[in-house]
Amino acid sequence: MIKSKEEFARIWKKEARELSQLDYFIFLLINELDTRLNEEYFKNKLISSDYILDDRQVAELVVQLGDGLHFFYEQICFGKGCSLGCPNKLDLPFSKNEDPVRLVIIEQEFDGKAEACASREDCFKHDLMNYVVKDTLIDFYTYFMEMEIDEDNKDLYKIAAYLVNTIINFTVRHGSKLLNEPYKYSEFIIT
């Protein structure tokens, strides 16, 4: 768990005064993932013991996830990658103006199956799983844990699904406030 703005700034290789609302969102999310994995997921042994992580390993994993998520939000969600703005408006339906963009995404990402991207949450969940979470887990277990890992591994998929659902729930609770102006300077409020 990251306990202070200064510690997070050091890990993020920024000055504390440079931290944005997106950075604060990631800081809170890293701590949420750390807590959930340590106190719920791995404690309940929902997967093979080979994949259970200790506190130090969880801390490393969630920082790596935070880094991947930060890049994903910055480059895709708030950059030129996608104009649907899913993270900060997950509960809103697509508008008629957004339908042309959504249809292109459906063709490219969902093989034309519109039902797979019927809501922002559907589309966002797909992207989180395929562009951030699975890749981060594979890299983590391969390089940090020195395990041979198959992309179709059922334990890996269970962890990934848990992480994606936790990220979605966290984003629903905090995204609309912190991600509406992701690059605005943030006053960290540590509780």
**Predicted local confidence at residue 168, as pLDDT:** 94
Model confidence at 28: pLDDT above 70: yes
The pLDDT confidence band at residue 81, using thresholds 50, 70 and 90, is low
Instruction: Please state the domain extents for the chain.
Output: 5-178
Model confidence at 89: pLDDT above 60: yes
Model confidence at 191: pLDDT above 70: no
Model confidence at 85: pLDDT above 80: no
Q: At 55, which helix (H) or strand (E)?
A: helix 55-72
How many Å separate Cα 53 from the centre of its chain?
19
∠ CA(155), CA(161), CA(164), 5° rounding? 140
**CA separation for the pair 157, 188 (Å, rounded):** 33
Percentage of the chain modeled with pLDDT above 90: 40
**CA separation for the pair 178, 20 (Å, rounded):** 9
The pLDDT confidence band at residue 189, using thresholds 50, 70 and 90, is low
**Predicted local confidence at residue 15, as pLDDT:** 82
